[in-house]
Structure 1
Amino acid sequence: MISATDALASEPPPLTGIAGWATDLMDTLGAPGAGLAVALENLFPPLPSEIILPLAGFAASQGEMNLVSAIFWTTLGSVVGAAALYYVGALLGRDRTRALVARLPLVKLSDVDRTEAWFVRHGKGTVFFGRMIPIFRSLISIPAGIERMHLGTFLVCTALGSLIWNTAFVLAGYLLGENWHRVEEYAGILQNLVIFAVVVAVAWFVISRLARRNRPPGGQHRG
């Protein structure tokens, strides 16, 4: 027979930090609390959805909320948070953005022009797939606002991309149960790959731009 002391010792320690904060929200508000946590995650990227979403799935597996409700509310939270950042981009505006870029070293306004043209052609896909890429999940809403992407189109693309991402992570937490935290480990690998790719891309841009700047004008030779 297991004593009360042994039973208490076998219980997992209480969650702390972001996980504890998210758990308190869900305990208080249920599935809408998970949605609120995800909305705040969009506005404050240091709050990782890779923790919040599996936690919501785990809570659903314990009967604390309905699985479909968890997916619905977290997706709604994603859309609300993304819409807020969209309006941040819209308030910043194209002219202010160009003025800020003009002050940056090594960056030319022609780079902005090419980026804008690319976004006009591929904006829908960029927002949709961007919602499934760590780091860019939240940031992609700002250029969409700057370019004044049609709000309805933006919301639909955001909702669909977020639905896929959220469903995958909520289901993972639901299926893993008390091992929900393992999701964060694998998501961390994906995030590190994205960070590595960004660092490589920035390094390539800086090196190539410096090389182009230091290159002597063509056709001029010293005798």
Structure 2
Amino acid sequence: MKSHILLVEDDLDLAATIIDYLELEEICCDHASNGVIGLQLIEKNYYDMAILDINMPRMNGLSLCKSVRDLGFNMPILMLTARDSLPDKLAGFEVGTDDYMVKPFEMLELIARINVLAKRQSGQSQQFSVADLTVDFESKIAKRQQRELKLSPTGWKLLEVLLRKSPQVISREQLSRTIWGDDIPDSNSLKVHIFKLRQQVDSEDDTKLLKTISGQGFALKP
């Protein structure tokens, strides 16, 4: 799956440079020019990680990071800063920052840190359970009680995204972008794949776990 990240940076020239470079690396990137908009996007969308500038109008990066953590989002956060002092870095770590980069920086190093942080989240665990659903992504075994699920490659991707964000709701748009990137197929494709996944996850005798949340998207939860 392609990484989908959020960049919150008020320097529009720098933001454009970063976005262009990320596109070359096939990394999807949304951009917000201030912390308030950034928080709104995080509440609405699914991101593998976020890059936050510290010095921003309306809501700075430290305040944004603290708000994100207070809301329960555990995505990795990389802070961009012109401050290289230890107290400033400690302040960032205290509110939940995972890593720092001091401006100016090399784009190759930024990509390396993004890849490390994205893997840190995706590799936190390979085994998950929700109610009586157990999944091992390393061995590609998914079961409800003793019944083994038969999933397509796309079904596995959908299940992974839903499990890693469970019990949060993920919008249709974000599921599509996570699975297919910018090459999203016709609107019925996601519907068909969700239907097939639901057939496997929720049989007639099972408590329903794959929920459709009207007007919002989908969630995997008891």
Q: TM-score, normalised by structure 1?
A: 0.28
Asked which structure has the greater CA Rg, the reply is 1
Choose between structure 1 and 2: higher helix proportion.
Answer: 1
Higher relative contact order (CA 8 A, sep 6+): 1
Choose between structure 1 and 2: higher strand proportion.
Answer: 2
Q: TM-score, normalised by structure 2?
A: 0.29
